Amino acid sequence: MRKLILTASALALSVAIAQPSLADVTIDDIVNDATTTSDVVTNGLGTQGQRFSPLDKVNTENVGKLVPAWTMSLGGEKMRGQETQPLVKDGVMYITGSYSRAWAIDATTGEEIWQYDARLPEGILPCCDVINRGGALIGDKFIFGTLDAKLVALDAKTGKVVWKQKIDDYKKGYSFSAAPLIVPSEKHGPLLVTGVSGGEFGIIGRVEARKADTGEMVWSRPTVEGHMGMLNGKPSTMTGKKNESWPGDLWKTGGAATWLGGTYDHETKSILIGTGNPAPWNSHMRPGDNKWSCSRLAIDPETGEIKWGFQTTPNDGWDYDGVNEVVSFDLNGTKAAATADRNGFFYVLNRENGKFIRGVPFVEKITWAKGLDDNGRPIYDPANRPGDPTKSKDGKKGSSVFTVPSFLGGKNWMPISYSPETKLFYVPSNEWGMDLWNEPVTYKAGAAYLGAGFTIKPIFDDHIGALKAIDPATGKIVWTMKNNAPLWGGVLSTGGGLVFTGTPEGYLMALDAKTGKELWKFNTGSGIVGSPITWEQDGEQMVSVVSGWGGAVPLWGGEVAKTVAHLNQGGMVWTFRIPK
């Protein structure tokens, strides 16, 4: 009904009066999102990415009474991994789904308002399922990225395309699936900040800022040393110094994809973003630290200049992408940030200068490093790096090593949460290993550029997934919730003393934030690999998550993939409340 009305432009005025008023999302709404409980207008429930809501109407006492309020199907034949995080504003929910689709939904009834389908071309090259991790709201627009490497800005009221921009050539392996980040800028107005996916295809990682209103490029910052940045349509500065940490020519196809997007810290006015593996995986082909691959970068939104960098895995040989989100928090008066890396270490940094404060393993049995030194640099054990294939008898396969964690990581894309009330981080981790070996490889545009082979294997009988509560002040793991299948969904913590997360087995769960005790769970009918949110609507606290199994594990999980092969795919939005 509403859809029909919206397509009739002559009735637009009467529709605007009849509908709940949809106010523009301002840059102040974005910066203040963490504290305003009636809406969720950023990925991460606040640009700092804490994924904490102060709401306490649903709490440890009553969470057991939570029941579904409404559901909505993402329909069609396109039921695959749903890694989105919903946004909610003025009674409307905005989500993205598999195959680069987007919806606006009435947040009180679950009724669809509009759907947008990007209609992807043949030949897209997503590495890790046809997922999307969510959109951004700014002004009167909902903006998201597509698997054919485009950005699409839709009219939030109608779903009609306002502008479209190409990020790069999907035939070369570029794609985009992260939620874009909206960042305030004094000089340029609200900026849309995005990265690129394609680290397994030898693309060049970069961070880009566009005017949110028009999509016009403001700056671009490559994340591989030796490449030139752009500002206002002109070359700006080179990233690092050519050949300083990356001798030879392989930096020209050096990877370091910024595929997970970033967070924004308004206190230090920094975009905090991570970078993926250097390409190819075979580290013997590219001696040196290979900056800024496998790193966290702080970038000035006004200029696109790098303020500081912290490299977690120099000369990475294990595909330990350092893209994991950087979450700003207060550490006893220090402006700190924490991040849980694919390499299995949890890092606490000073977000003013990138200085290392502490790092601790958050998964067990790590093999690839003996530990971290005083500056947070890994202490390598050369015996645990996969061997150089040119030194093997036939020159085709280097010596194989068994490595923990597997390349899918101690933690992969799924976002952590920080509760300023418990002062704990909640990290969805996975404990698994892999056989890994190197092979010769040459770069060819649009072809996988790994130079490695692998098989992922479990390392414990009773679990792979493990949600861990970590005290950033001590590095201690306070509690662990083990899960049979690998965890692949995001985490939410609340002022009600709760931690919400989903499992591939289909459960949305609520745990006691202090103890990890399970207080409530509900099976959504397909695996959860998305991120839950909560907000207040008509005096009630609502909880939502999108369910739909998929992502990288079924595609790349080796022996682990077999153990989750029975899980059914799906695509449903589930919204819960406590009945009055």
Would you name the residues annotated as active-site residues?
Answer: 319
Question: Interface with Ca ion by CB under 5 A: which range of 32-40, 292-300, 326-334, 550-558?
Answer: 32-40
- Which residue, 321 or 325, has its beta carbon nearer to Ca ion? 321
In this structure, are residues 101 and 115 in contact, taking their beta carbons and an 8 Å threshold?
A: yes
- Cβ 253 vs Cβ 246: under 8 Å: no
Residue of the chain from 19, 36, 62, 71 that contacts Ca ion (CB under 5 A): 36
Q: Of 168, 289, 321, 505, which lies in the binding site for Ca ion, with binding defined by CB under 5 A?
A: 321
Check binding of 534 to Ca ion (CB under 5 A).
Answer: no
Minimum CB distance to Ca ion, residue 26 (Å)? 12
Q: Check residue 53 for interaction with Ca ion (CB under 5 A).
A: no
- Only one of the segments 118-126, 190-198, 272-280, 285-293 lies at the binding site for Ca ion (rule: CB under 5 A); that segment is 272-280
What gap in Å lies between CA 175 and CA 167, rounded to an integer?
8
* Rounded Cα gap, residues 214 and 254, in angstroms: 30
**Min dist. Cβ of residue 34 to Ca ion (A):** 7
Q: How far is CA 165 from the centre of its chain?
A: 21
Kindly write out the interface string for residues 222-261 of this chain, putting x where it contacts Ca ion by CB under 5 A and - elsewhere: ----------------------------------------
Q: How far is the CB of 319 from Ca ion (least distance, A)?
A: 5
Contact region for Ca ion (CB under 5 A) — 273-281, 329-337, 350-358, 480-488? 273-281
Q: Which residues contact 327 (CB under 8 A, 6 or more apart)?
A: 44, 48, 49, 50, 263, 337, 338, 339, 416, 418, 425
State yes or no: residue 316 binds Ca ion (CB under 5 A): no
| Residue 577, φ and ψ in degrees, nearest 5 | -155, 170
Q: Nearer Cβ to Ca ion, position 154 or 450? A: 450
Contact string (CB under 5 A) for Ca ion, positions 427-466, x = contact: ----------------------------------------
Are 335 and 352 contacting, i.e. CB atoms less than 8 angstroms apart? yes
Shortest gap between Cβ of 476 and Ca ion (angstroms)?
30
If the CB atoms of residues 43 and 503 are measured against Ca ion, the closer one turns out to be 43
- Tell me the closest approach of the beta carbon of residue 440 to Ca ion, in angstroms: 19
By C-beta, is 29 or 505 nearer to Ca ion? Answer: 29
Of 321 and 505, CB closest to Ca ion: 321
Window of 36-44, 77-85, 203-211, 516-524 that interacts with Ca ion by CB under 5 A: 36-44
Q: Give yes or no for a contact between 351 and 328, defined as CB atoms under 8 angstroms apart.
A: yes
Rounded Cα–Cα distance for residues 470 and 502 (Å):
19
Q: Which of these segments, 85-93, 168-176, 274-282, 424-432, binds Ca ion (CB under 5 A)?
A: 274-282
Identify which of residues 36 and 350 has a Cβ nearer to Ca ion in the complex: 36
The SS3 of residue 390 is: helix
CB-wise, 39 or 505, nearer to Ca ion? 39
Strand 378-380 and strand 369-372: pairing? antiparallel
Closest approach of Ca ion to the CB of residue 408, in Å: 10
Taking the least distance from each CB to Ca ion, the nearer of 52 and 99 is 52
Smallest distance from Ca ion to CB 41, Å: 6
* 108 makes contact with Ca ion (CB under 5 A): no
Exactly one of 43, 50, 197, 277 binds Ca ion (CB under 5 A); that residue is 277
Q: Please give the Cα distance from 39 to 206 (Å, whole number).
A: 31
User: Between the CA of residue 362 and those of 430, 468, 475, 487, 498, what are the distances in Å?
Assistant: 9, 8, 9, 14, 21
527, two tokens: 């695996």
**Smallest gap, in angstroms, from Cβ of residue 189 to Ca ion?**
21
Q: Report d(CA 558, CA 330) in Å as an integer.
A: 40
Instruction: Report the alpha-carbon distance of residue 229 to residue 207 in Å, rounded.
Output: 10
CA–CA gap between residue 90 and residue 25 (Å, rounded): 10
Among 168, 225, 316, 319, which residue sits at the site for Ca ion (rule: CB under 5 A)? 319
Closest residue by beta carbon to Ca ion: 36
Tokens of 46: 């606040």
Report the C-alpha gap between 119 and 105 in whole angstroms.
20
Query: How do 491-494 and 52-53 pair as beta strands?
Result: parallel
Could you say which of 25, 39, 361, 493 contacts Ca ion (CB under 5 A)?
39
Sheet arrangement for strand 87-89: 87-89, 92-97, 101-106, 112-117
Distance CA 457, CA 402 (A): 9
CB of 459 to Ca ion, least distance (A): 21
312: contact with Ca ion by CB under 5 A = no
Q: Which segment (31-39, 240-248, 323-331, 395-403) binds Ca ion by CB under 5 A?
A: 31-39
Nearer to Ca ion, 33 or 341 (CB): 33
Task: Report the alpha-carbon distance of residue 330 to residue 336 in Å, rounded.
Answer: 6
Residues 6 or more apart in contact with residue 483 via CB below 8 angstroms: 463, 464, 465, 466, 467, 503, 505
Q: Are 278 and 293 in contact (CB under 8 A)?
A: yes
Q: Which stretch binds Ca ion (CB under 5 A): 37-45, 97-105, 465-473, 491-499?
A: 37-45
* Cα 110 to chain centroid, rounded: 26
Query: Is residue 341 close enough to count as binding Ca ion by CB under 5 A?
Result: no
Question: Which residue lies nearer to Ca ion by CB, 452 or 508?
Answer: 452
Q: Which residues pair with 508 in a beta bridge?
A: 502, 522
- By rule CB under 5 A, what count of residues binds Ca ion? 8
Q: Is 49 an interacting residue with respect to Ca ion (CB under 5 A)?
A: no
Nearest-approach distance from CB 199 to Ca ion, in angstroms = 4
- From the CB of 358, what's the least distance to Ca ion, in Å? 26
Tokens 């997007």, residue? 261
Kindly identify the residues of this chain, within the stretch 188-207, that bind Ca ion according to CB under 5 A. Answer: 199
The residue behind tokens 């003996």 is 370
- Nearest Cα residue to 44 out of 272, 305, 325, 257: 325
Q: Which C-beta is closer to Ca ion: that of 277 or that of 526?
A: 277
Per CB under 5 A, residues contacting Ca ion are: 33, 36, 39, 199, 276-277, 319, 321
